[in-house]
Structure 1
Amino acid sequence: MDVSKAVEQRISTRAFTPDALDEAEVRDWLAKAQRAPSGGNTQPWRVIVVTGDARDEVIAKAAPILRENHAGQPTDRPIYPKDLWEPHEARRRRVGEMMYEALGIPKSDRPARIAWFSNNFKFFGAPVGLFLVIDERMGHGQWGHAGMYLQTLALLAEERGWGTCMQECWGVLRPMLKAHFELGETEMVWCGMAVGHPDRSHPVNTLRAERASVDEIADLRGF
């Protein structure tokens, strides 16, 4: 598979088969992703990968918190800026509505929407969950480098026939995750990633998020 194909077909996979991933393959995947770029070769990421009982423990830890408040705990690092402006807010709302349309869940059925959202915290059924850990002392540049690492993981997963879903939602459970994984004093979980074989028969995996045109996002000068 070439890079263009991997970029084109990558989606946020939200339904997986239960088929396990082999440890040796996961290690090889992680090793190859270490070639992701980072300024000054800082490599500001660390990952915790869970499967089997370790995965189930995280899901079980999340459940009581989410029962109290389906959105989880407040976080000092919100997933989106407060009062997200246009056109970004319209894009965010649009992809959400597209997802629920694919699932056949109307806007009026809030309980069904909340129930579906809770699948985030079960990794959408993926057999493997990955958590990206970063040191809070890192600057904005290093957060960008961590994002490049996540994209590298996602594209390498496509090459293997796996699916991924990057999950910033885990940030609302950051205090629990910090304690559960016994992270260092200045370490934090930035986000999660669900990894496994996509369930290609599930309607949610037909969703192709819309993208802005090149003319909307690019200002080409001197050509």
Structure 2
Amino acid sequence: MHIDAAIRSRKSVRRFHPWPVPRHTIQQLLELAARAPSGNNIQPWQVHVVTGEKKQALCEAILQHAQAGNPGEAEYRYYPDQWHEPYLARRRAVGFGLYQALGIDRHDLAARRDQELHNYSFFDAPVGLLISLDRRLNTGSYLDLGMFIQTFMLAARGKGLHTCPQAAFAWYHEVVRQHVPLPAEHLLVCGIALGHEDTEAAANAFATPREPVRTFASFHGFETACEA
């Protein structure tokens, strides 16, 4: 797959087929992702890959906590304490668009909660990845980690697979630590679902829009520069 096609077709898939993904394929994807840049080449990422009974046990444990009303708590702040524009409108548009695709009324809190809980089954993907970062590092390493995650997701598209990055797992890091050997000095940043998209699932019919370049970029000096 051409890199342009991989970038344009990458999306957050929220329903997968149960078809397995071979270990050697995941190994190749991680080798490619490790080519992502990092400050001074410190390569701060750590990955735990789960599948089969290990994944099932982890998912069931998190679901039990979530269904019992335990909201968990992430070890880092992902979202702002107060939303403001234009970010608030974009956030709402994603929520409304997804629920509309699923046929869920935005006032149906029970159905919305049920959809939220699907996060903790990796949306039925056969493989889940848990991404962590050494807490002793600083903000720049989050940039490095983001580039690693994006490189992994694009590499997956290159092999015809799909992904869904899921910060939701960070809220249940204490449960995750009971199932994978996550070092104490590491904080859980996110999970990633990996597998084959269920193209008939309503959740996957929803596509998030992107702002045009003119809204976030400005160009300087091109009036006098010689452009090829």
TM bin (shorter chain): over 0.9
Q: 1:1-223 to 2 correspondence within 5 Å?
A: 1-69=1-69, 72-223=71-222
* Structure 2: distance between partners of 1:101 and 1:12: 16
Contact 1:17-1:198 within 8 A present in 2 as well: yes
1:169 is displaced (CA, Å) by: 0.7
Give per-residue Cα distances to partners, 1:59-79, cap 9 Å, x unaligned. 021022101226x21334233
List runs of 5+ in structure 2 lacking aligned partners: 223-228
Task: Give the number of aligned pairs.
Answer: 222
**Inter-partner Cα distance in structure 2 for 1:25 and 1:35:** 16
Aligned to 2:225: none
User: TM-score when scaled to structure 1?
Assistant: 0.96
Looking at structure 1, the residues matched to 221 and 214 of structure 2 have their Cα atoms a distance apart, in angstroms, of: 15
Question: Aligned to 2:73, what secondary structure does the other structure show?
Answer: coil
Moved over 3 A (4+): none
> How many Å apart are 1:164 and its aligned residue?
0.1
After TM superposition, give the deviation of residue 212 of structure 1 in Å. 1.2
- 2:191 aligns to what SS in structure 1? strand
For each residue in 1:10-49, what CA deviation from the matched residue of structure 2 results, as whole angstroms up to 9, or x when unmatched?
1100010000111111111111221111111111001000
Q: In structure 1, give the amino acid aligned to 2:19.
A: D
Change (3 A) 1:170 1:125: same
| Structure 1 residue 178: Cα displacement | 2.8
The 2-side partners of 1:203 and 1:64 are apart by 26
Aligned 8 A contact 1:7 1:155 in 2: yes
Q: CA RMSD in A?
A: 1.2
Distance 2:184 2:114 in 1: 34
Q: TM-score, normalised by structure 2?
A: 0.94
Distance 1:34 1:182 in 2: 21
Counterpart contact for 2:75–2:171, Cα < 8 Å: no
In 1, the alpha carbon distance for the partners of 2:80 and 2:176 equals 22
Higher alpha-carbon deviation: 205-214 or 10-19? 205-214
Q: Distance in 2 between matches of 1:100 and 1:135?
A: 36
Q: Is the partner of 2:197 in helix, strand or coil?
A: coil
- One-letter code aligned to 2:173: R
Please tell me whether the aligned partners of residues 11 and 208 of structure 1 are also in contact (alpha carbons under 8 angstroms). yes
**Distance in 1 between residues matched to 2:194 and 2:72, nearest whole Å:** 24
Identity %: 34
Distance 2:119 2:173 in 1: 14
AA in 2 matched with 1:160: K
SS in 2 for 1:193: strand
Cα shift readout 1:65-112 (whole Å, capped 9, x = no counterpart): 101226x21334233111122111111111111111111111121101
